[in-house]
Amino acid sequence: MMNDHIRFDADQDALLLLDQRYLPLREEWFACRNTDDVIYALQTMVVRGAPAIGVTAAFGCYLASREVRGKTDWRIALKELLELIRTARPTAVNLRWAVERMEALWRANEVVELDHLASLWLDEAKRMQLEDEAINRAMGRHGAELLSDGDRVMTHCNAGALATAGFGTAVGVIYAAVEQGKRISVVANETRPFLQGARLTAYELHRSGVEVTVACDNATGLLMKKGLVDKVVVGADRIAANGDVANKIGTYSVALLAKAHGVPFYVAAPMSTFDLDCPDGAHIPIEERPAREVTHPTGESQITPLGVQVYNFAFDVTPAELVAGIVTEKGVLRPPYTEAIQRMFGK
């Protein structure tokens, strides 16, 4: 399993990201040396996946603190840069969570000098990176109990190591089941238009020796009807207080088809992905991405007629009633989710 795709290089004083835009055909690294680099990486999908976005944002806060050195009003300038990072993408709540964690550390050390704050933030970002992989492994252990020997598991989008600091959320559940000796095969939905399933999930699983088959998104119903899918496990970019789940566009359709065919639909996500301030899915902001991702799927030739408009919503919301269980580092939550989520957070 991958865990070196997000790494801080002290010699360069830069965050190095494996550029996911070019996988699986080639492996290139993108260096973030300032706030603009971090925001570009987040918005253009150099890095994606809610936990990975959070870790990247944490290192981005450190880079922002280096960027304001020498400014007499560095506190004001730094707050402005943090706000830019916080709002770089709207749907994944981990982005806001990471920045707020750094801000809390700043408030607790308000009198420190900038260089000391930068050091604290760099240590905290590294700690968050290690924590995330540990959390994913804990989720994997809990979620693996939901999978049986011989299961064929469908995934949608990429919720593997590349979407996190390491191991993965939904794919981490699969890895953990395999480590337990279970024979698990995976159906990776291609996940249009950015093809995270075909490019990234298949890349990870194949590299790790897990049997994987890529399927067109619109084959989901047929595959379930043929009995080729036993379970569905997906990740999440935000989970509302009532258990509604925002994930990559198309997830809602997969959940509806799973319900119709009696296939259990599970979500795997860390506690940092829950937004208790968001009452339900209707309040989750849904990002719209550039039309070019749809009109130029290979990045070169346009496949749609000139002048035709495009819908490119990046996420959709799956209602809680379609979710059989939510796997977290604390265990598997079951309906009713409002009460289960409150208990998990000790509310």
Cα separation, 333 vs 186, whole angstroms? 23
User: Which member of 237, 244, 275, 316 is catalytic?
Assistant: 237
Cα separation, 150 vs 103, whole angstroms? 46
Instruction: Tell me what pLDDT residue 112 has.
Output: 87
pTM of the model: 0.94
143 CB burial (10 A radius; 0-12, 13-18, 19+) = buried
Residue bearing tokens 């935000």: 238
| Contact between 15 and 126 (Cβ < 8 Å) | no
Instruction: Tell me what pLDDT residue 347 has.
Output: 85
CATH superfamily of 6-136: translation initiation factor eif-2b, domain 1 (1.20.120.420)
Residue bearing tokens 């990234």: 200
- Side-chain-facing half-sphere of 160: CA atoms under 13 Å: 29
Instruction: Tell me what pLDDT residue 299 has.
Output: 81
- 207 labeled binding residue: no
- 89 labeled binding residue: yes
- 248 labeled binding residue: yes
Instruction: Tell me what pLDDT residue 334 has.
Output: 98
Cα separation, 342 vs 346, whole angstroms? 6
| Contact between 292 and 304 (Cβ < 8 Å) | no
Cα separation, 62 vs 38, whole angstroms? 11
Residue spans in the chain of domains classed CATH 3.40.50.10470 = 139-344
Q: Which two tokens stand for residue 116?
A: 């000391």
- 129 labeled binding residue: no
Instruction: Tell me what pLDDT residue 29 has.
Output: 98
- 49 labeled binding residue: yes
Please, what's the b/e burial string for 25-58 (b: 16 or more CB within 10 A of its CB; e: otherwise)? eeeeebebeebebbbebbeebbbbbbbbbbbbbb
| Contact between 268 and 169 (Cβ < 8 Å) | yes
Is 237 annotated in the active site?
yes
For the domain made up of 139-344, the CATH class stated in words is alpha beta
Q: pLDDT per position in the chain (347 positions), as tens?
A: 667 899 999 999 999 999 999 999 999 999 999 999 999 999 999 999 999 999 999 999 999 999 999 998 999 999 999 999 999 999 989 999 999 999 999 999 988 899 999 999 999 999 999 999 999 999 999 999 999 999 999 999 999 999 999 999 999 999 999 999 999 999 999 999 999 999 999 999 999 999 999 999 999 999 999 999 999 999 999 999 999 999 999 999 999 999 999 999 999 999 999 999 999 999 999 999 999 999 998 788 999 999 999 999 999 999 999 999 999 999 999 999 999 999 999 98
Rounded to 5 degrees, what are φ and ψ at 203?
A: -60, -50
Residue spans in the chain of domains classed CATH 1.20.120.420 = 6-136
Instruction: Tell me what pLDDT residue 1 has.
Output: 64
